[in-house]
Structure 1
């Protein structure tokens, strides 16, 4: 049923989906106290509280553009996106070293994997849905030629490393909260956030360069601009230093279009089995 609904919505123009999303974004904000509290708290924590109104609209757009991104014909989807600085990634691919693409929950991050897969083989890490009913949508709708999905477990990590050793590209969401044992506490906008260490480990094991990417959503449904940005932070030697370096890089990306980050994401939760950080500023009330 959900797949059919997404397929039906995918036939609407992107402008219409963004317009509906803007309205629904405000409705959710007004009707859900927990959502409203989390959104405002995360914006305030990062110093972007002045972007509240736009962030509410952009959050709604991010949800209602998914039927188009996932279910519209791939060529139609990619026609809505322009790409900047792809030569940065192509140079790494030409060197046969593999590439580690890091993409935060910023803008239309779902379109980036499709754009990369249209140019080269990409293995993307994803977290399988907990509800079986969502599996056909989350996994099936994302299926594209050259795009391989790797589950967030040991099997998936092996698939990522195998792809890098072949000189191929992989993609991760570095601001996704990892599970117990898969991350460390590192500062993110002034508060400790449990942060994955996988991307730095893969870089160390393979020597593949890290490249940042994000897709800025243009106004009035005009599409997206996908940008590739060099990773310029010093990773350091410890997992904590590496996680902080990656978080710092994410902060700089988010500063480019702060209203388009998904501020409602529970970035500061303490995963089950993980000890709380020794940071008095850490916010654990948002944890489920």
Structure 2
């Protein structure tokens, strides 16, 4: 996929409101101190929790399903912290896209980069396995600051948003390739070349290419592509987490490569992936993206878990 190219058509009047929004967003993230942005993010998150009732209800349902050991008061407190994390994530997205390298480097502490660096030295491809936390793009931009890697990508419908998104994500890693997430052939080719690819397999992408394995004890449609890509690309799967610290800033931690993966047993491999995600989520459950309908796809004949809770079906997420 070629690099994003600015076109005069992006300045058409129908995009002026988009440009205004991005200029305002840029000014906020550049001028306000980090701690003030985190404080404002918590306030925005509380407001979102009151206004975005359906999304809040989805998050509440997910927490009920995944943490049945928590009582009602504990679940409510976790939901409140999660909505605050959603608000903070709006500011963190601007930080990830617009801050210069020197400011970003002050925010992050790295652990375990040697696992990816060693694979590169050995000429072995890497699926750098991330997860959908509320500050997803912070994890992505911190990856590009420290590592040479390609990224998976989903094109945005608004061409201005798409151009800014791609340009911002690629600005620190000029030799990378952005791969459309369904382009398996290109992913495999890059892995065989010994490249690392950022990859997140932890959302519900429907029944196609998925099997049902437990996620926090609930059967969840989980894609099997992780083991397939690792097998076809002769690559290692190396998980990483990027978590916001209570005092501010982020800890970016790379784990050792998964052992004996792929194993040849697709179900066991897919279950292992969900287990890795679970262990990451438990470190900071409020920071995980619970507003996604992780259990929207159900086995044949099983009732929709969200409709059971009175949540109406929505558009594809």
Per the shorter chain, which TM-score range? Answer: 0.7 to 0.9
**3-state SS in 2 of match to 1:101:** strand
Distance in 2 between residues matched to 1:94 and 1:217, nearest whole Å? 30
Distance in 1 between residues matched to 2:140 and 2:284, nearest whole Å? 20
Deviations 1:123-167 (A, max 9, x none): 11122123445312322322224243211222xx23322221111
| 1:235–1:165 distance in 2 versus 1, CA, 3 Å | closer
| 1:234–1:145 distance in 2 versus 1, CA, 3 Å | closer
Distance in 1 between residues matched to 2:177 and 2:39, nearest whole Å? 32
Measured on the aligned residues, the alpha-carbon RMSD in Å equals 2.4
Is 2:151 the counterpart of 1:151? Answer: no
Distance in 1 between residues matched to 2:301 and 2:268, nearest whole Å? 16
| 1:116–1:241 distance in 2 versus 1, CA, 3 Å | same
| 1:204–1:278 distance in 2 versus 1, CA, 3 Å | same
Is 2:5 the counterpart of 1:5? Answer: no
Partner of 1:227: 253
Matches within 5 A, 1:141-220: 141-146=168-173, 147-154=176-183, 157-178=184-205, 181-220=208-247
| 1:132–1:107 distance in 2 versus 1, CA, 3 Å | closer
**3-state SS in 2 of match to 1:174:** coil
Partner of 1:273: none
Distance in 2 between residues matched to 1:279 and 1:93, nearest whole Å? 46
Shift in Å at residue 119 of structure 1? 3.4
Is 2:58 the counterpart of 1:38? Answer: yes
Is 2:12 the counterpart of 1:24? Answer: no
Distance in 2 between residues matched to 1:69 and 1:87, nearest whole Å? 23
Shift in Å at residue 37 of structure 1? 1.1
Is 2:140 the counterpart of 1:116? Answer: no
Give the TM-score taking structure 2 as reference length. Answer: 0.80
Partner of 1:250: 277
Give the TM-score taking structure 1 as reference length. Answer: 0.87
Consecutive unaligned residues in structure 1, runs of 5 or more: 271-275
Partner of 2:13: none
| 1:77–1:141 distance in 2 versus 1, CA, 3 Å | same
Distance in 2 between residues matched to 1:163 and 1:145, nearest whole Å? 19
Pair member with larger Rg: 2
User: Which residue, out of 305, 308, 312, partners 1:283?
Assistant: 305
* Maintained 8 Å contact 1:233/1:246: no
Distance in 1 between residues matched to 2:133 and 2:62, nearest whole Å? 14
| 1:179–1:21 distance in 2 versus 1, CA, 3 Å | same
Is 2:122 the counterpart of 1:100? Answer: no
**3-state SS in 2 of match to 1:219:** coil
| 1:143–1:83 distance in 2 versus 1, CA, 3 Å | same
Distance in 1 between residues matched to 2:90 and 2:55, nearest whole Å? 14
